[in-house]
Amino acid sequence: MKITRFDVTPLNNRGLLLQVETDAGLTGLGAPMNYEHGRTVERAILDMGDYLIGRDPLQIEDHWQTLYRSSYSRQMPILLAALSGIEMACLDLLGKTANLPVWKLLGGSVRERIRVYGAAGGATPEQAAQAARKCVESGFTALKTTPFPDPVRPIETPAGIERVVSHIAAMREA
């Protein structure tokens, strides 16, 4: 089996859908993500695709090491996001070839069930409470939120801290 084509579709400003097609008619899917540079990750994947076209997608570790070691900046988040998407797609192809889900190829399950959470938030405490209520009504027993207006900048005033506290309090009451 050989890789014949790469297709990258932007999903939003962060996420991408990577499709790796093969001459065997199989398509592997990957979902690379970078919070700041989605289009740059897309370009990196396409550049790496030039190397991978015509190669066996099941040689996952060999390809990963070759691409990683040939990069100038090995700690660069863009490189690692691109590599992770390619690795996911190749693992998907391995699973399809072996007729096994990838989680079984990676060692099987650790537990029978996992708890999932809903994401809730809002610009005001009332909106945050409404979003939390909607998650609970949908069956979620855990929520993820960020009450911070700007996750990059610290809160510097008592009023800012009070705003965060009121958001969380409203969500807990809901």
- The pLDDT of residue 173 is above 90: no
73: left (phi over 0), alpha (psi -120 to 50) or beta: beta
Phi, psi of 111 (to 5 degrees): -145, 160
| β pairing state of 27-30 and 118-119 | unpaired
Which CATH architecture best describes the domain 3-105? 2-Layer Sandwich (3.30)
From-to residues of CATH 3.30.390.10 in the chain: 3-105
pLDDT tens-digit series, residues 148-161: 766 667 777 888 88
Given this model, what pLDDT does residue 74 score? 60
Given this model, what pLDDT does residue 139 score? 95
pLDDT tens-digit series, residues 14-28: 689 999 999 999 999
Distance from C-alpha of 31 to C-alpha of 45, rounded to nearest angstrom: 11
The mean per-residue pLDDT over the stretch 45-72 comes to 92
Q: Among candidates 26, 45, 48, which has minimal Cα distance to 94? A: 26
Given this model, what pLDDT does residue 71 score? 79
Given this model, what pLDDT does residue 152 score? 65
Given this model, what pLDDT does residue 13 score? 62
Distance from C-alpha of 12 to C-alpha of 39, rounded to nearest angstrom: 10
Given this model, what pLDDT does residue 27 score? 98
Distance from C-alpha of 129 to C-alpha of 134, rounded to nearest angstrom: 9
Mean of the per-residue pLDDT values of the chain:
89
Distance from C-alpha of 26 to C-alpha of 63, rounded to nearest angstrom: 19
Given this model, what pLDDT does residue 161 score? 84
Given this model, what pLDDT does residue 159 score? 85
pLDDT tens-digit series, residues 63-102: 999 999 887 666 688 889 999 999 999 999 999 999 999 9
Convert 132-166 into a string of H (helix), E (strand) and C (coil): HHHHHHCCCCCEECCCCCCCCCCCCCHHHHHHHHH
Convert 89-103 into a string of H (helix), E (strand) and C (coil): HHHHHHHHHHCCCHH
